[in-house]
Amino acid sequence: MDDAWQIAHRVYPAYRELGELAFVYGQGSAFAGFDERAGVDLVAVWDRPEPPEPEFRPVDRLHRPSDVPGMTAPVRLHHPRIGLVRDTFGLGGREVVVSHITMAEVKRWIDEVQSGHGWEHMVRPTPLHAVAAFLYGALLYDEDGHGEAWREELREFPVALIERSRSVLSSDLRAHEADLDRCARAGDGWQFHEIFGDVLRHAMVAWFAAERRYCPYPKWVRYWVSRFALDPSIAALERGLWAPPVSLHRRYELFVQMCRRILAL
């Protein structure tokens, strides 16, 4: 199995031949070092109104059918209106996913996050998670320096994100603490977690922001907490939410403690 970086450096030159490729970055666990056997997740950013049409993208010549069991042919998706333009293929013993976005879309993500928004609801992609993946990922190709210029801009953490996420979490706690307590006491797990899921997302965003970090996608969040050395007392409470056996009411108690410590940062 080839290294993720080796595979990336075999992939992006083929897309660069199409012209107007601004920069390419790698994201996800393979580039973060959390899972060396994970798939290779690349993002190609294009300096054009829309990414190239699927018939022009070099997927067929990159794909190696024997590298990913069951994947006899590459998969192309092309739905720019909903932000879903992606190629999936096998190379170097791994599944490779190349997502395609435009410079305008990256700029929109950055503007939203710098204004304190872009995280309230899970959408595809969620701007805050996309910005985190871009900044904390690996910049692989950036001939004209556009990618590094934006990364440098993002290193100045937006105060608006700190203040707004803290305000939303504070409002959430006032609005939903009694409901969570009531659901926990009644053993109403479904309704509890309907409320809990949204407030937890807001709490994690506020926690990372308070420590001047962009909250990444949830999949590897505990690894990011460790890497960024975030507040250990809050980290212990977050781990406690999931440590079996935890009753519904104990989860409520730990969560409220966690939220209050985040608000006190």
pLDDT tens figures, 20-45: 999 999 999 999 999 888 999 999 99
pLDDT at 67: 77
- Residue 46: φ, ψ to 5°: -110, 140
Of 154, 179, 209, at which residue does a domain stop?
Answer: 154
- Between CA 225 and CA 210 the distance in angstroms is 13
- Between CA 165 and CA 203 the distance in angstroms is 8
pLDDT at 245: 84
Query: Which CATH number characterizes residue 221's domain?
Result: 1.20.120
164 and 48 belong to one structural domain? no
pLDDT tens figures, 81-92: 888 999 999 999
- Between CA 175 and CA 194 the distance in angstroms is 14
pLDDT at 69: 81
150 and 184 belong to one structural domain? no
149 and 185 belong to one structural domain? no
**Exposure b/e, 235-248, CB count within 10 A at least 16 = b:** bebbebeeeeeeeb
Of 126, 154, 182, at which residue does a domain stop?
Answer: 154
Structure tokens that stand for 192 in this block: 């509890």
> Which structural domain range is residue 97 located in?
4-154
Confidence of residue 1 (pLDDT cuts 50, 70, 90): low
Cα–Cα nearest to 119, from 177, 45, 169:
169
- Between CA 249 and CA 242 the distance in angstroms is 13
145 and 175 belong to one structural domain? no
171 and 112 belong to one structural domain? no
pLDDT tens figures, 105-143: 999 999 999 999 999 988 889 999 999 999 999 999 999
pLDDT tens figures, 216-263: 999 999 999 999 999 999 999 999 999 988 899 999 999 999 999 999
135 and 228 belong to one structural domain? no
* Contact call for residues 190 and 152 (beta carbons, < 8 A): no
Of 95, 123, 154, at which residue does a domain stop?
Answer: 154
Question: Between vectors from CA 102 to CA 101 and to CA 105, what angle results, nearest 5°?
Answer: 90
- Coil/strand/helix, residue 228: coil
Rounded (10°) CA dihedral 170, 201, 175, 111: 60
139 and 163 belong to one structural domain? no
Cα–Cα nearest to 206, from 131, 265, 126, 122:
265
Cα–Cα nearest to 169, from 196, 206, 221:
206
Q: Is the pTM of this model over 0.85?
A: yes
The one-letter amino acid code at 76 reads: R
23 and 134 belong to one structural domain? yes
- Between CA 249 and CA 265 the distance in angstroms is 25
20 and 116 belong to one structural domain? yes
